[in-house]
Amino acid sequence: MIRTRFTEIFGVDHPLMQGGMQWVGRAELVAAVANAGALGTLTALTQPTPEALATEIARCRELTDKPFAVNLTILPTISPPPYSEYRRAIIESGVKIVETAGANPAEHLREFKRLSQYLGVQGSSAGRRTSVAVT
């Protein structure tokens, strides 16, 4: 086992994170990664509704007792999904590790930072690279 700041902060055995992957970041994969000692990541928008995301989070908890994260990718679109409802599903499900990607997540950060661990932000917004923050 390798001990790093990452393994200590997130309670995993290996300093590896399975990134959010559209359509495959589901409970079975995430639990397998978590059970192997790395940080698995559910992909929020793989689920068709916030309610389905809450169900998938519960399913993941049935498959592992290890830490896992949820990714919320925020994309610019004419008809965006209900991001605030997905955010609420993540928080109300008790997820402690959240990663955002895509567009600027500023409107979500205050709520996510109430979690014990907010993994961070990746991607760019208006041509600027947004830094990763672990709190």
User: Average pLDDT, stretch 58-76?
Assistant: 95
| Residue 30 forms part of a structural domain | yes
The reported pLDDT for the residue numbered 120 is 59
Tell me: the pLDDT tens digits for 81-95? Answer: 999 999 999 999 999
Range of the domain at 84: 5-129
pLDDT at 66 over 50: yes
Q: What percent of the chain has pLDDT over 90?
A: 64
pTM: 0.86
| Residue 80 forms part of a structural domain | yes
| Residue 120 forms part of a structural domain | yes
The reported pLDDT for the residue numbered 119 is 60
User: Please, are residues 50 and 65 in contact by the beta-carbon 8 Å criterion?
Assistant: no
| Residue 134 forms part of a structural domain | no
| Residue 135 forms part of a structural domain | no
Our count of domains for the chain comes to: 1
93: CATH = 3.20.20.70
Tell me: the pLDDT tens digits for 5-37? Answer: 999 989 999 999 998 899 999 999 999 999 999
Look at phi and psi of residue 37 and say left if phi exceeds 0, alpha if psi is from -120 to 50, else beta.
left
Cα 49 to chain centroid, rounded: 16
